[in-house]
Structure 1
């Protein structure tokens, strides 16, 4: 049995084999799903961190950073944040703890604002960072409290 393709199947004038048509159909469906996931991600991302923030991030993307923006929008926000098993508020609370532990101040500031949008209270944010102090260390919590205070002040100023 030969695994080489039939030369006639490679001829552009002949009918494509059934497997080829099935593969094309699967690719087309995957592209449609990707667009749907991207659009869902774009909507969730905009709702959580703000349309202005998202529009700026996408507008400033260049050839180098656009693939990252697409990945973040489609997979992070569309495929994961778009799942229904956890409410957005819970996802925000998890993110605050993880980002705090990872010491990512810019992302933490963004997600503190998003958490408030998703219904996380300032008291709950404080409790998250107290929990971080116990399990990830006081320095991580100190920085997180400082960033939260700055974010709260910025929001209070309007």
Structure 2
């Protein structure tokens, strides 16, 4: 792959990543990046965000539901909350998320879907107390 292509994919990935996860999340992640994990972060930005999420083959809403279902089905619960928060930007509703997790229950198992639902409920409750979705508390 040429350097130009890699740079284009990285830049596209950062644009999509910011659109889906928000500037605050991406800025926090970038601030935590070290020389050790920089190549891995570049891989994620180019591959996940600059290729898969940047594709216009399906909508961000559909991609969001697929991502949540796959994370739950595979037991990769660490990123569930982040992707639940992203639904505020992708257009996936709470009903969409519930439907995705119900699908997980049938095809991948009730315990995984149940744990994903627990995490979703906690995250939605947290979001209800936030101003927007970037983790800033609602002013009182």
Match of 2:23 among 45, 51, 61: 51
Match of 1:116 among 72, 88, 92: 88
- 1:77-108 CA-to-partner distances (Å, cap 9, x unmatched) read 00111111111111111101100112122211
TM-score (norm 2): 0.88
Match of 2:43 among 71, 74, 79: 71
Q: Output the CA distance in 2 between the equivalents of 1:124 and 1:94.
A: 10
The answer for the alignment partner of 2:102 in structure 1 is: 130
State whether residues 116 and 122 of structure 1, in contact with CA within 8 Å, keep that contact through their aligned partners in structure 2: no
Match of 1:82 among 54, 66, 77: 54
- Structure 1 residue 115: Cα displacement: 2.3
Query: Considering only CA atoms, is the larger Rg found in Structure 1 or Structure 2?
Result: 1
- 1:9-59 CA-to-partner distances (Å, cap 9, x unmatched) read xxxxxxxxxxxxxxxxxx7xx111111111110011011111111111111
Which structure is richer in relative contact order (CA contacts within 8 A, separation 6 or more)?
2
3-state SS of 2:58 partner: coil
Match of 2:5 among 15, 22, 33: 33
- Structure 1 residue 129: Cα displacement: 0.7
Q: Output the CA distance in 1 between the equivalents of 2:20 and 2:70.
A: 17
Q: Output the CA distance in 2 between the equivalents of 1:78 and 1:134.
A: 32
- Structure 1 residue 68: Cα displacement: 1.0
Is 1:146 the counterpart of 2:110? The answer is no
Unmatched 5+ residue regions in structure 2? 131-140
Unmatched 5+ residue regions in structure 1? 1-26
Is 1:104 the counterpart of 2:71? The answer is no
